[in-house]
Structure 1
C-alpha cells in the first residue's frame, strides 16, 4: 500500500521541460584539461547527449562524460587544436527537448602556412616568395611569419627574415649560382608553427650576359686621349644592354685597368689620362642586368701622340668642262702614324654643304686628285683631309673658288 501511494505522488508532480545552462564559448590552451559543466533541469530527469559538430561524442581514455542528477560534464584531457569545434548538449524528457551549443577554442601555435609556395622574380642574388595563410590560426591572430633559407651545398638553415607581416617577401643576399631552398613558419602569441618548405631554386637571372662587342677600333689619337669605338654585340643575352665598360693596357704591362668609371651608353668613348709616347690597347665589355660579357678582341696597340696636322690648301692645276685637277702638300706632322691617304671634299657655291668625292682614303694615296662629274659653269671649292692608320686630320683650308669651263683640257688658274 505504501509503495502504491509513493508512485501516485510521483505521478502527480508537475512535469517540467528540459532546460540547459552553460556558457556559449570557452578558451583553453593546448595541453590543458577541458571541463565543461552544463546544468540540466527538468522533470522527469532529462536524458543528455553530447555532439561534436554533428557527430556523437565518443568516450575514450582521453574523453569522458560524467552525468549527475542536475548536470552533465564533458571532460577532455590534453586538448589539441583538433578538439576545437562547436559542441552541442541535447537534453530530452517526456515534456520536451532543449539544446545548447558551446564553442571550444583551443589556443595553440598556428598550423603551417599553406601551399603553393611560389618562387618568382629570380635574380642573381634575390628572389620573391609567396605563400598562403595557415588553415589553423591557433585561436589567435597570425602576428608574423619567419622565413629561413638553406644553401643546399652547405645544408644549414639560417634566418633570412625574422619579421614578415604579409604572405610574401623579397629575399636578398643570395650567392649567385648557388642552389637554395626556403621555409616559412607562421607565428601567433602562443608559438611558431611547423614550416612550409619550398622546392629548390638556383640564384641566377632568367637570361644571360651579352655576347662580346665587335670590331673594337681606334678612331682618333691625341697625345693624352685616344678615342675608341666598337659595334654592338650580336646578342644582348635576353636583356637590354645597359652600357659598356672599357679597359686599357700598356704594351709593357700585364694589367688591364678600367678606362671609365661609369657605364658608357654610346659605342664610342674618349679614353683620357694617357701618357704621351706610350703604346696602348683597349678592349670592351657589354653590360646587362646579368653582368658583363666576355671582352671584345683588343684593338691594335697605338701610341698616344699629337694628332695629324691638316694638309696644305689645295691648288687647282687643270680644269675641263666637268673635271678639276688638284694638288696639295702633305701634313707637316703625321701624329706618329703612317699616312694612308686622303679624303677630298667639294662644295658647290654659293652653298655650304661639303660632299666627299671618294669613299676610302686608299683611293687617294698621294697629294693629287682629279674631281669628276662636275657641273659645267658651276663654281666649286675643294678641301683635303689626311687619314693615318689611327687618326684623321681636320679639313685643310678650302681652295680658291674655281669655275668649271667648257674648254676641255684647257689649263687655267683659280679665280
Structure 2
C-alpha cells in the first residue's frame, strides 16, 4: 500500500488481486475510489486527486513515511521550535561522539538525578498528592506506616532502600503475616509512585515488590453478631445520633467507610429506593453504583430528624459542633466518624478492639446468607465476586441473615 499526502488530503493506493491498482480516498464524508492498470499511473492519479482534494497548488509532496517523521518531531518539540530541537540534538550528538554515547550519557544523567531524591521528599510529595487528588482515608493508612521513617530517615536516598531494609521495617514488633503484608503493600504503593515519577529506576521492580509476601492463614472475617448490631444502633440513638447514618450505610448498605464518610444527603434521596454511590465517592474501583435501600435501612434513616443541630450530642465540643452542623447539612456523616464510632463502641464495652471493615464484612456475609447470590452481593458492595468470596464472606445460616436485616424495623 502507498499513502499519498498533500496538505490535509490523503489518498491510498492498493494492489488488487487481479494485478490492477485501486485508489481510495474520502470526500464529502463518503468513501470514493477508482482503478488504474499500471502502478505508475495509479500514483500519478493519486497525487492529482490529493492535490485537488486539498484545494491548493504549489505545495511540496511528502511520502507517508516523511509525514510520520515530521509528526514525531513536532510531538517531541512540543511548544518549542522543531528547528531549535534539531539543532540542539545535532550539537549533543557531536559533543557525545555518536548516538550510543549520547544515550549512555543521558542514562547516566538520569541515574544521578534519581539518586538525589530522599525518603522525606517522597513522603511530602505523597502527602500533597493524596490531600489534593486522592482519598484522605487512604493517606491516613499510608501515613501511619511511612511517617515514622520519613521523620527519622528523611535524608535517606530512595536508591538506598533495599529489599532487606523493607523486610526489616515490615518485621518490626513480630507482626502477624497479615500485618507484615499490609506494611509491605504500603511501601510498594509509595515506592511505586516514586518509580512513576522517575525518582527511582523506572525499568526495575521496587525494593518492596522484590520482598516476598508471608503466607497468611485463611480465616473468616470478623462480623457483628446480631445482638451487637442491635446494641450499637441503640447506643448511637442514645449518645450520638449524628453517627447513625455512617454506621447504618456500612452495615445494611455495604458501603466502604470512606464512601459512608463522603456520601451526600441528596445521594440518599435522588433515586428513590436506592443509595446512589457516585463515581467520585466510590472506593477502590471508582465505579458508580446503586445500592438497594433495604427496608430496615430505610426505616433507620427515616427516623432521623432533618435538622443537623438536633443530631449532634450536647456533649460535643462547641467548636466541633458548629463544624459538624455545617457538614451534616450536606453530608450523611460528620468528619472523623470512624474514630468516634470505634471509641464509643469500645467505651461501652461491646468490644476491646475494632475489627477492620467489620461493618462491611457483616453486610456481605449476612446478605450472602439472605440472597445466595455472590454476584448480586458483589454488585451491591462494589467489589468483584472473587474478592467477596475470599475476603468478605463468613458463612452464616439463612435465618441469621434474615434477622440481621430486620434490625431497626
How does the TM-score come out when normalised to structure 1? 0.21
| Higher share of residues assigned strand | 1
How does the TM-score come out when normalised to structure 2? 0.21
Q: Which is bigger in relative contact order (C-alpha 8 A, separation at least 6)?
A: 2
| Higher share of residues assigned helix | 2
* Rg comparison, structure with higher value: 1
